[in-house]
Amino acid sequence: MKVLVSWLRELVPVQAPVSELAHAFHMAGFEVASVEDVPAEDGGAPDAVIDLEITANRPDCLGMISLAREIAIWFDAPFRDPVVPLSTPADPAVAGDLRVTIENGAACPRYVAALADVTIGPSPAWLARRLAAVGIRSISNIVDITNYVMIETGQALHAFDYAKLAGPELRIRNAREHEKVTTLDGQERKLLPQMLVIADAAVPQALAGVMGGAASEVSSATKTIVLEAAYFAPAPVRFASARLGLETEASYRFRRGADPGAPPRAIARACALIEQIGAGRVRAGWIDAQAAPLPSPTVTLNETSVQRLLGYEVDARNIERIFRGLGFTNETMSAAPGAHVWRFGVPSWRVDVHREADLIEEIARHEKYDRIPTTFPPLTLTPPRPTLRFERDRTARQVLRSAGFSEAVTFTFIERTAATPFVDEALLVSLANPLSEKFAVMRPSLLPGLIDAVAHNRRREQRDVRLFELATRMRRGDGERRVAAWAWSGSAVPTNWSGGARPVDIFDITGAVTTLCGALGLTATFVPAAPAFLHEQSAAAVRVARADDGRDTRDIGIVGQLTPEIVEARGLPGHEPVFVAELDLDAVLDWTSLGDRFVTRPLPRHPSSVRDLSISVAADLPAGAVRDTIRAAAPAFLERIAEFDRYQGKGVAEGRCSLSLRLTFRAADRTLTDAEVQQAVDAIVAALAAAHGATLR
């Protein structure tokens, strides 16, 4: 918003230097973009233009009058309102032969119009100069008056050539199917039924709140005009402006929320200027059509609230002075010293004021923000305990970082070809208007993004990469799910002086899964699974149970080695293994237990007994199945199971392997006898033989 200083001083008689005026605007909460000198008017004092950035919550300050009120309060100077109101119309919908009908009262609650007989010509020099100073080109006296009043009051106006209308009637309605209008810029616009238009008896003559139509444009031959000002709701103006790609000074104001009380004031000011500059004569009577009476909101303000929120006392007389200057009406409800209570009537142009805190903000602005003490408000409530989801995510991050993984943040939207290897295409959630094919669908898994992040690091000479991500995925029919995923490539143990590196394998990645599940109060086991994107010999589903009750189980994810085809398709060397895991944490939120993660247990008082077994089993038998059978057959004092060797080759039958296990037994209350341990081993061997056809070697 460009503010011409000489124009501002007409409204507020302040002779402060331009620098002080700019500083006052800045201190009142407006960003000053620039201050430029302009030639003086008629050889008078030097003039300047202050360019202000108006925030979206202050559409009233897109007019000089509201800005002048701000300056008047700042310098405690009188404000001169240039508007002389018109008398109340005898018939709100009729003036002379002209009639106005509002068909869509929600989109246009108020429409004001007046008739004037005019002579089109150039504007006076002072008027053209002021418009030029604020960046508006002079066109003709009538068009310039509408622009001048818009800059002064913030209310957009338009003038129709009365003779070009199809009858003395204006209808504010929605566009009809297949209707078109040629706007003032010469472009033919195809209208949609959601768009609001101002039509005569036959066709649309303007796009409401955006731009007038060329068919009824004021020209040098115009003799009579219909001068209109209206209040349009922001939503339909915003829709039409965006859909047609048409941004104007009018749409800029209406879509932010205009002043419903401004149309009659703007019409009165424009009518006065028409006669002031000799551009014509305004006909008697005017129209003020309203779909429904406009509300007059009030807000209550307590003096104690002012002190509590700002941190210091403000004189009650100063509070009343500030709101009187801003145009608020005041009804004092209580005048007790230090405990005043006011009910302020909010002026129609302050569409941003709805509650007591908004009033207190106005006091803070005009009392100067730098008076507010820099202290933190006292905490009167104990902060609530973080939710289980928040604590779970924090724990998962801590565990995975401790395991050597670095956190990655990847895109929520990914390309379709990256998503389809991981889920069925029917589960993909597509975007209606993607920015590009690279962002066509919402990620159904975190793995595509993580794999691309691994490839990104490998291309930059990082061979050993461990990345994890904790985020949401989206699948059709399943909604958003909180998921933890990680990818591991390169070495499991880095090279150092005492030994060489060891490449990562399936046991490293399953170890990370087991560690994370344990931190969440879950016991993880691995069962056979072969999704298409994982290597058949190195893949498993992750099955979990509650650590304190292992009877119920849930499958929550997968773990394994990516197939060479997937690896190569994402830009990685196909011969180097990449191991991944993905767990649905929301699937076990009700089982998650974080309270006993740091429980310490005393060292055992009694010695353990260790037995080694070598058995011959089917080569494709999962280790998890062997472990489950052993646990089911063993007594409670079986403490640990560990595989320490697996052999296939000479001396072992085709399709079978030799599996060596170490079993550790320990009782908490006594030293076990050899007979007890041997009895347990015999039971285990018998169970393995029955369940898996295992034989001792």
pLDDT at 125 over 70: yes
Tell me what pLDDT residue 595 has.
62
pLDDT at 624 over 90: no
CA distances from 569 to 152, 438, 489 (A): 63, 15, 16
Angle between helices 125-133 and 141-153 (to 10 degrees): 50
CATH of the domain at 635: 3.30.70.380
Residue at 548 is within a domain: yes
Choose one of 528, 559, 591: the last residue of a domain.
Answer: 591
Task: Give me the amino acid identity at 265.
Answer: R
Q: Do the Cβ atoms of 3 and 67 come closer than 8 Å?
A: yes
CA 546, 549, 552: angle at the middle one, nearest 5? Answer: 70
- 78-92, 184-198, 351-365, 656-670, range with the lowest pLDDT: 78-92
**pLDDT classification of 472: cutoffs 50, 70, 90:** very high
Residue at 599 is within a domain: no
Residue at 24 is within a domain: yes
**pLDDT classification of 597: cutoffs 50, 70, 90:** low
Residue 458 and residue 357: Cα distance in Å, rounded?
54
Conformation bin of residue 651: beta by default, left when phi > 0, alpha when psi is -120 to 50: left
- Asked if 249 and 304 sit in the same domain, the reply is no
- Asked if 66 and 122 sit in the same domain, the reply is no
**pLDDT classification of 282: cutoffs 50, 70, 90:** very high
Residue 459: half-sphere exposure toward Cβ, Cα within 13 Å = 9
Burial of 640 (0-12, 13-18, 19+ CB in 10 A): exposed
Choose one of 343, 371, 399: the last residue of a domain.
Answer: 371
Tell me what pLDDT residue 547 has.
78
- Asked if 264 and 178 sit in the same domain, the reply is yes
Choose one of 290, 319, 353: the last residue of a domain.
Answer: 290
Tell me what pLDDT residue 598 has.
59
**pLDDT classification of 2: cutoffs 50, 70, 90:** very high
Residue 33: CB atoms within 10 A of its CB come to 11
**pLDDT classification of 370: cutoffs 50, 70, 90:** confident
Whether the model clears a pTM of 0.75, i.e. scores above it, the answer is no
Residue 193 and residue 224: Cα distance in Å, rounded?
31
Tell me the two tokens of residue 125. Answer: 């020099």
> Which one, of 432, 118, 446, 480, lies nearest residue 279 by Cα?
118
CATH of the domain at 330: 3.30.56.10
The dihedral formed by the CA atoms of 555, 560, 564 and 565, expressed in degrees to the nearest 10: 10
Residue 98: half-sphere exposure toward Cβ, Cα within 13 Å = 29
Strand partners, 414: 441
Residue at 463 is within a domain: yes
Residue 139 and residue 147: Cα distance in Å, rounded?
10
- Asked if 120 and 228 sit in the same domain, the reply is yes
Residue with the two structure tokens 């999962």: 622
- Asked if 230 and 363 sit in the same domain, the reply is no
**pLDDT classification of 377: cutoffs 50, 70, 90:** low
pLDDT at 596 over 60: no
Tell me the two tokens of residue 595. Answer: 């309270």
Question: pLDDT by residue (tens digit) across 642-692?
Answer: 989 999 999 899 999 999 999 999 998 999 999 999 999 999 999 999 999
Question: pLDDT by residue (tens digit) across 238-260?
Answer: 999 999 999 999 999 999 889 99
Say how many domains are in the chain. Answer: 5
pLDDT at 511 over 90: yes
- Asked if 111 and 136 sit in the same domain, the reply is yes
- Asked if 63 and 112 sit in the same domain, the reply is no
Query: Mean pLDDT in the chain?
Result: 90
**pLDDT classification of 40: cutoffs 50, 70, 90:** confident
Residue at 350 is within a domain: yes
- Residue 311 per-residue DSSP state: S
Tell me the two tokens of residue 344. Answer: 């302020």
Of 76 and 600, more confident? 76
Radius of gyration of the chain (CA): 39
CATH of the domain at 415: 3.30.930.10
Outline where 459-559 has alpha helix (H): 506-519
Q: Do the Cβ atoms of 267 and 99 come closer than 8 Å?
A: no
CA 229, 230, 233: angle at the middle one, nearest 5? Answer: 150
Tell me what pLDDT residue 213 has.
92
Strands (E), 17-106: 31-38, 47-53, 94-95, 98-102
**pLDDT classification of 86: cutoffs 50, 70, 90:** confident
Residue 43 and residue 398: Cα distance in Å, rounded?
73
Residue at 686 is within a domain: yes
- Asked if 364 and 494 sit in the same domain, the reply is no
Question: pLDDT by residue (tens digit) across 308-339?
Answer: 888 888 999 999 999 999 999 998 888 888 88
- Asked if 504 and 404 sit in the same domain, the reply is yes
Strands (E), 547-605: 549-562, 578-584
Conformation bin of residue 253: beta by default, left when phi > 0, alpha when psi is -120 to 50: alpha
Question: pLDDT by residue (tens digit) across 488-509?
Answer: 999 888 777 777 778 999 989 9
3-class state of residue 96 by DSSP: coil
Residue 522: CB atoms within 10 A of its CB come to 23
- Asked if 257 and 329 sit in the same domain, the reply is no
Strands (E), 81-138: 94-95, 98-102, 110-118
**pLDDT classification of 234: cutoffs 50, 70, 90:** very high
Tell me what pLDDT residue 42 has.
63
- Asked if 263 and 340 sit in the same domain, the reply is no
Tell me what pLDDT residue 195 has.
93
Tell me what pLDDT residue 599 has.
65
| H-run or E-run covering 22 | helix 18-27
Question: Domain residues for 310?
Answer: 298-371
Outline where 585-673 has alpha helix (H): 623-633
- Asked if 230 and 302 sit in the same domain, the reply is no
Query: Pairing relation of β-strands 522-528 and 502-503?
Result: unpaired
Task: Give me the amino acid identity at 246.
Answer: L
Q: What average pLDDT does range 346-353 have in this prediction?
A: 92
> Which one, of 10, 349, 354, 351, lies nearest residue 155 by Cα?
349
- 42-46, 96-100, 278-282, 345-349, range with the lowest pLDDT: 42-46
CATH of the domain at 136: 3.50.40.10
Tell me what pLDDT residue 328 has.
94
Residue at 181 is within a domain: yes
Tell me what pLDDT residue 374 has.
82
Tell me the two tokens of residue 225. Answer: 């005009």
Residue at 82 is within a domain: no
